[in-house]
Amino acid sequence: MKKASMILHKDFIIGKVDKRLYGSFIEHLGRAVYGGIYEPGHPEADEQGFRKDVIEMVKKLGVPLVRYPGGSFVSGFNWEDSVGPREQRPKRLDLAWFTTETNEVGLHEFADWCQAAGSEVMYAINLGTRGPENARDIVEYANHPGGSKFSDLRIANGKKEPLGIKLWCLGNEMDGPWQICSRTAKEYGRVANEASKLMKWVDPTIETVACGSSGSQMPTFGDWELEMLNECYENIDYVSLHRYYGNPTGDTPNFLASTLDMDDFIKTVVAICDSVKGKKHSKHTVNLSFDEWNVWYHSRQQDEEIWKQDKWNRALPLLEDIYNFEDALLVGSMLITLLRNADRVKIACLAQLVNVIAPIMTRNGGGCWAQTIFFPFMHAAHFGRGTALNTLVSCPSYACQDHDQVPYIDAVATLEDDGSVSVFCVNRDMEEDFQLEIDLSSFGQLSIKEHIVLHHDDVKAINTEEHPDNVSPVAGPGGTMENGRASIRIPALSWNVIRFC
Ligand code: AHR
């Protein structure tokens, strides 16, 4: 067994954990909405057609914020199509995903669904085919109390009270050539600035998120952030980051090291934001919204086949990645990375929530079940609250394809207001357990409350409707606690939550 040590001190403060770090994402894409959260006629459907079993799973996962309605979808979407009497809503060709959007579920229905699921809406506006005028109109529709064209339309459509949407994305991935009406950084920065100004003039309580690069692998990454922030810095509140990882070559140690890249991505964007702040002599700090993150690669080939056979159909089964155990480990490590940067990453959205690259899967007419990645997210969302704390870890590291030095133990901790401490940790070692000594003496009297472990002997193990618990958390081996020092066994290749109180 290998050895590692960790010093955890109550003063190793990173920052307050914003609950919006545990956001997720529902796009009008594939079976996320139609056949996912919404399936009228299903035995579990409520009077609005929403699946109650899915709502229960979302509540169990613990998602305080859901980004909506896209994604790439939003860059060609007219929000007006999605409100008013359902039978009068138009069917539209969606050029982002080559399907037909029926608009059966729109803004009012989604707001109701979010309320039922215990979440808030994070609404993305279309800055692809549209611009500041429509951005202004939808904020008026959603948030203005009444007495104006769009607020009165909302009331006429059945919602007397404003929807009160506090967080708005200024478009989506506008740097991407695949995006409907992508823009240059300067063009986008200008339009985002003007849209955000008008939106905040309508409702000064809202916050806005400007599009960063659609990934750190983009050739324009860095320049894009710098140029667009130069245009809109003072009028926006967050910059978005998006990143998906995959393991197409089956190199697990290299795949599990992807979070070194994610950490670097975050730190680079923070540095750019702060350099613009300095250059502009600004008092305003722009923070980060990591509003698309996950593993995504399993379904890409399959999607090409679907488009060949069934383009323009409604609710095509797109992006239905089936997640395995190693994916859950990386998702755990991504959550650790987000928490380790909680001083600047205030919002994050696991992309996505149901059926589309999702922790929750459904079968049309059938059941719903948790994919492997559900569990680390659920643990972090429930126990990763309060203040994020740095951990000083000494452990051996390994070299892999993309990185020279990858620590086997990846960890972070949180301290809740009631004094309880949770340590989140991934052991990246394929072969060996670690005996982890944790110095917690600065916290006074603590004892080990619980050790939760997610492990499977097969890195490719998955959950299915028939075997939903194949990969699921169990009680870990735990350990001993003496004079403020814990000694815990961390199994090879595992996600761990160690809770002290
Ligand atoms: O989450 C799936 C897609 O990934 C989103 O629509 C887009 O923003 C990103 O490229």
CB 29 within 8 A of CB 77: no
Residue 215: both structure tokens together: 């990934």
- How far, in Å, from the CA of 501 to the mean position of ligand 1? 40
Q: With pLDDT > 90 as the criterion, what percentage of the chain qualifies?
A: 100
Helix (H) or strand (E) holding 109: helix 107-117
Number of Cβ within 10 Å of residue 386's Cβ equals 18
What is the SS3 assignment for 467? coil
Q: What is the mean pLDDT of residues 197-206?
A: 98
User: What is the 3-state composition of the chain as percent helix, strand, coil, each rounded to the nearest 5?
Assistant: 30, 25, 45
What is the SS3 assignment for 297? coil
Q: Could you identify the atom of ligand 1 that is nearest to the CA of residue 178? A: 10
CB 427 within 8 A of CB 48: no
Q: What is the mean pLDDT of residues 324-330?
A: 98
Q: Could you identify the atom of ligand 1 that is nearest to the CA of residue 214? A: 10
Residue 257: both structure tokens together: 């090291």
Give nearest CA residue, ligand 1 atom 10: 72
- How far, in Å, from the CA of 277 to the mean position of ligand 1? 29
- Tokens 């006429």 identify what position? 156
Q: How far apart, in whole angstroms, are the C-alpha atoms of residue 3 and residue 461?
A: 27
Measured CA distances, 373 to 38, 196, 334 (Å): 22, 35, 11
Nearest residue to 299 (alpha-carbon basis) of 313, 282, 316, 281: 316
28, 73, 94, 172, best to mutate for ligand 1 pocket (most atoms within 8 Å of CB): 172
What would the pLDDT profile of 61-105 be if each residue is shown by its tens digit?
Answer: 999 999 999 999 999 999 999 999 999 999 999 999 999 999 999
Side-chain-side CA neighbours of 57 within 13 Å: the count stands at 24
Q: With pLDDT > 70 as the criterion, what percentage of the chain qualifies?
A: 100
Q: Could you identify the atom of ligand 1 that is nearest to the CA of residue 27? A: 6
pLDDT tier at 450 (50, 70, 90 boundaries)? Answer: very high
Is pTM, for the whole model, over 0.75?
A: yes
- How far, in Å, from the CA of 172 to the mean position of ligand 1? 8
Q: At what angle do helices 325-340 and 258-279 cross, to 10 degrees?
A: 30
Backbone angles phi, psi at 98, to 5 degrees: 55, 45
Burial class (CB in 10 A: 0-12, 13-18, 19+), 104: middle
pLDDT reported for residue 294? 98
CB 398 within 8 A of CB 432: no
The separation between CA 229 and the C-alpha centre of its own chain, rounded to angstroms, equals 23
Q: Regarding beta strands 13-16 and 409-415, do their DSSP bridges make them parallel or antiparallel, or are they unpaired? A: unpaired
pLDDT reported for residue 252? 98
Backbone angles phi, psi at 196, to 5 degrees: -60, -40
33, 290, 292, 293, best to mutate for ligand 1 pocket (most atoms within 8 Å of CB): 292
Q: Could you identify the atom of ligand 1 that is nearest to the CA of residue 29? A: 6
pLDDT reported for residue 480? 95
Catalytic residues: 173, 292
Please, what is the average pLDDT of the chain? Answer: 97
**Which residues form the pocket of ligand 1, taking CB atoms under 6 Å from any ligand atom?**
27, 70-72, 172-173, 214, 292, 351-352
Q: Where are the beta strands (DSSP E) in 187-235?
A: 207-210
Give nearest CA residue, ligand 1 atom 4: 71
The separation between CA 41 and the C-alpha centre of its own chain, rounded to angstroms, equals 30
Identity (one letter) of the amino acid at 99? Answer: T
Identity (one letter) of the amino acid at 47? Answer: E
β-sheet with 434-439: strand ranges across: 392-394, 2-7, 434-439, 485-490, 479-482
Give nearest CA residue, ligand 1 atom 6: 71
Nearest residue to 359 (alpha-carbon basis) of 347, 350, 348: 350
- How far, in Å, from the CA of 125 to the mean position of ligand 1? 15
What would the pLDDT profile of 125-168 be if each residue is shown by its tens digit?
Answer: 999 999 999 999 999 999 999 999 999 999 999 999 999 999 99
Residue 306: both structure tokens together: 């679907």
Concatenate the DSSP letters of all residues of 381-450 into one string.
HHHS-SEEE--EEE--EE--SS-S-EESEEEEEEE-TTS-EEEEEEE--SS--EEEEEE-GGG-S--EEE
pLDDT reported for residue 436? 98
Q: Could you identify the atom of ligand 1 that is nearest to the CA of residue 70? A: 6
Cα 325–19–62 angle (5° rounding)?
Answer: 50
Burial class (CB in 10 A: 0-12, 13-18, 19+), 69: buried
What would the pLDDT profile of 413-434 be if each residue is shown by its tens digit?
Answer: 999 999 999 999 999 999 999 9
Measured CA distances, 316 to 77, 151, 161, 320 (Å): 18, 34, 35, 10
- How far, in Å, from the CA of 71 to the mean position of ligand 1? 5
pLDDT reported for residue 275? 98
What would the pLDDT profile of 256-279 be if each residue is shown by its tens digit?
Answer: 999 999 999 999 999 999 999 999
